[in-house]
């Protein structure tokens, strides 16, 4: 069983069915179809605010193009040192911003704090003739450590960015998992905390390949259409991307999928806790479990067919176990049998 990533799961049947339906007939290209036309309203209803939405195919494109809309080439983006944008995107944000600086910050459990941002003011004084200008902060929700920023954490960061006139980006590749974990509304987790732009992920939670860049401030969205085209991310048959996002939102599929994944991750956590074979490293706020597992037990699990990543950056013998919407209780019981041998 693959516990390595939520990208190992296929797509929800509802999304496959929606694609088949979207295949009917000849429709407008490059966003001239009904699915694409409906997206702004669908997301505006969910976020309780008029938003401007652009579908793209990957999370890296969503993050990089969103950050490029917020950050000039001489700007500086503060982010966590193990954030996807800094650690896993091969310099795409630097490329698409035409050279902006990503300034990594170490932070407990994947989170950065306003105090850390404040401490950096001395090193990056605004208006200094020699240093990049602080312009942007990026947070990941769910974080790369499987933890969630609480609403208070986000509000504190948002207060800080607003006061300092910085833009705030959220990488929400696992937005639904964080939302279910916190039990709050999409509005509370974003623009009510002064988030300017959200990379709203769907791929990991049921889509084939679909992410939405959501602007809460239309002015900041002005250059996005151009950036998307120049980077080769405007799909001619955009209906297939938009149809995935629509089906993802229909009948709360996104929330139900995330609820299932989170519940399975929590059951996995309990099994590990009770087994005495590992120590959970961070709070399990969504669908990812970071835990030590002793080497012999890791070997047993791998021999029994469980696949997972070693994450040495997070500590000795630390592994990452990720659950997805298609994980069943049977999968979890199989894991329990092997770990308790």
Ligand X SMILES: Cc1ncc(COP(=O)(O)O)c(C=O)c1O
If one asks whether residue 59 binds ligand X (CB under 6 A), the answer comes out as yes
Which is nearer to ligand X, 33 or 144 (by Cβ)?
144
| Residue 112 or 297 having the CB closest to ligand X | 112
Q: Which residue is nearest to ligand X (CB)?
A: 59
- The reply to whether 60 sits near ligand X by the rule CB under 6 A is yes
Does the footprint of ligand X cover residue 58 (CB under 6 A)?
A: yes
Q: Which is nearer to ligand X, 173 or 245 (CB)?
A: 173
Q: Which of 173, 284, 288, 297 binds ligand X (CB under 6 A)?
A: 173
- Rounded to the nearest whole angstrom, what is the least distance from the CB of residue 219 to ligand X in the complex? 25
d(CA 307, CA 338): 13
Tell which positions 199-218 bind ligand X, by CB under 6 A: 203
Q: Which stretch binds ligand X (CB under 6 A): 58-66, 96-104, 183-191, 263-271?
A: 58-66
Minimum CB separation of residue 243 from ligand X in Å reads 19
**What is the footprint of ligand X within residues 80-139 (CB under 6 A)?**
84
User: Going residue by residue from 10 to 39, which x/- string records binding to ligand X, judged by CB under 6 A?
Assistant: ------------------------------
Residue 144 engages ligand X in binding (rule: CB under 6 A): yes
Among 41-49, 57-65, 104-112, 263-271, which window interacts with ligand X (CB under 6 A)? 57-65
Q: Which residue, 7 or 329, is less far from ligand X as judged by CB? A: 7
Binding positions for ligand X, rule: CB under 6 A: 58-60, 84, 140, 144, 171, 173, 203
């Amino acid at each position: 069983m693959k516990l390595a990533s939520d990208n190992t799961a296929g797509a929800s049947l509802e999304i496959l069915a929606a694609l088949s339906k979207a295949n009917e007939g000849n429709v407008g290209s490059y966003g001239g179809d009904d699915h694409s036309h409906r997206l702004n309203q669908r997301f505006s209803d969910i976020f309780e605010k008029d938003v401007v939405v652009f579908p793209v195919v990957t999370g890296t494109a969503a993050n990089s193009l969103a950050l490029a809309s917020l950050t000039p080439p001489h700007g500086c983006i503060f982010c966590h040192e193990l954030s996807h944008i800094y650690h896993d995107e091969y310099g795409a944000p630097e490329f698409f911003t035409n050279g902006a600086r990503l300034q990594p910050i170490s932070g407990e459990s994947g989170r950065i704090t306003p105090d850390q941002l404040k401490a950096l003011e001395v090193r990056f004084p605004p208006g200094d003739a020699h240093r990049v200008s602080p312009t942007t902060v990026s947070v990941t929700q769910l974080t790369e450590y499987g933890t969630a920023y609480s609403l208070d954490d986000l509000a504190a960061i948002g207060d800080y960015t607003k006061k300092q006139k910085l833009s705030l980006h959220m990488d929400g590749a696992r937005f639904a998992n964080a939302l279910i974990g916190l039990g709050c509304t999409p509005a509370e987790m974003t623009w009510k905390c002064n988030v300017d732009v959200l990379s709203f992920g769907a791929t990991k939670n049921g889509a084939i390949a679909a992410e939405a860049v959501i602007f809460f401030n239309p002015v900041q969205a002005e250059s996005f259409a151009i950036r998307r085209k120049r980077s080769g991310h405007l799909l001619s048959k955009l209906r297939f991307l938009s149809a995935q996002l629509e089906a993802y939102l229909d009948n709360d599929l996104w929330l139900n999928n995330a609820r299932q994944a989170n519940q399975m991750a929590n059951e996995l956590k309990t099994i590990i806790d009770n087994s005495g074979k590992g120590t959970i490293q961070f709070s399990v706020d969504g669908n990812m479990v970071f835990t030590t597992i002793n080497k012999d037990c890791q070997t047993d699990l791998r021999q029994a067919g469980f696949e997972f990543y070693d994450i040495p950056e997070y500590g000795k013998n630390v592994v990452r176990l990720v659950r997805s919407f298609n994980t069943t209780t049977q999968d979890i019981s199989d894991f329990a049998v092997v770990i308790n041998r």
